Structure 1
């Protein structure tokens, strides 16, 4: 891999670790036991059902996500700008062979031709607290406490999925 790609790659995988502390304008991750209600969402190939969810500011919601499609999908909370940035990282992961049909694969640094022994390989993951990846036929959960925000979406940022319509809205009521 050319060195000019290495720094952006390292930054891309380090930023989610910083975000893991729960600093999001629209809320923070929560424990499922704190949820005030559960919302079930079906993930199909290029759609969510329901495609819109209403929550109250301050409400903690447990999302139960069932991937009934034939493709790998994700459920990611954020605004359009966050999703656009996340899509760049997902595309980079796909181009590097880290993102496959069955999920995220660990990087084989020996293939890169660089001495990468001093790097923190533990940060090269897909572990944002506002995002879960779900394999076909599988289920997952994400619990979130919402604050007042606008323009909030849930989306699949696997390359091409958002653009094909795999995006829904979260309306936060006061």
Structure 2
């Protein structure tokens, strides 16, 4: 009696992705043709430790722009970002590729639609409830990705990030309409 009619092959890339996923739990990946976390492909970096940061970069979040609009980093550098929202609206600082931002924008739109986010803040009660029973939300959503932070008006937050060795990376606000109105900046790698 034959149990399997086809042999199963595991590619070395798949094994590497699993190993890296186990050893780099804070790493964020952008895969070819797909965006998000945990997919094989180019890493954009990982959550950094503030004690390991080589410098502090202060960024102002205003309605709907960043000051400065671009930053320069060295490949592998750990940067502590101090993010001050001088605007009247809730803003986000999210490090990723354009493809990752496109996926995250859909998630943020759902969070707004379900009352988890408002134009000026975070509804903690709605954010912490189980959303699996709501249409279009397959799981409990939280805004807790290591590459992202929400900053309400008048507040200051921090995010420490260890950048990858290169790539095309942006920082952006993915709250509905903000990215489209120009709230996106570039990360330029120094050589």
Scaled to the shorter chain, the TM-score interval is: 0.7 to 0.9
Preserved CA contact (<8 Å) 1:146 1:172: no
Structure 1 counterpart of 2:102: 84
Tell me which of the two structures has the higher relative contact order, counting C-alpha pairs closer than 8 angstroms and 6 or more residues apart: 1
After superposition, residues 146-165 of structure 1 pair within 5 angstroms as 146-165=163-182
Paired residue for 1:47, among 52, 58, 65? 65
Structure 2 counterpart of 1:127: 144
Counterparts of 1:76 and 1:109, CA distance in 2: 24
Structure 1 counterpart of 2:27: 23
Quote the offset at 1:109 in angstroms: 5.4
Preserved CA contact (<8 Å) 2:27 2:47: no
User: TM (normalized to structure 1)?
Assistant: 0.78
Task: Give the 4+ runs in structure 1 shifted more than 2 A.
Answer: 104-110
Quote the offset at 1:31 in angstroms: 1.2
User: TM (normalized to structure 2)?
Assistant: 0.71
Give the helix-richer structure, 1 or 2: 1
CA 145–113 in structure 1, closer or farther in 2 if over 3 Å, else same: closer
Counterparts of 1:145 and 1:94, CA distance in 2: 29
Gaps of 5+ in 2: 1-20, 29-42
After superposition, residues 75-114 of structure 1 pair within 5 angstroms as 75-100=93-118, 101-107=120-126
Quote the offset at 1:98 in angstroms: 1.6
Preserved CA contact (<8 Å) 1:104 1:126: no
Preserved CA contact (<8 Å) 1:27 1:145: yes
Counterparts of 1:38 and 1:134, CA distance in 2: 17
Counterparts of 1:72 and 1:165, CA distance in 2: 15
Gaps of 5+ in 1: 1-17
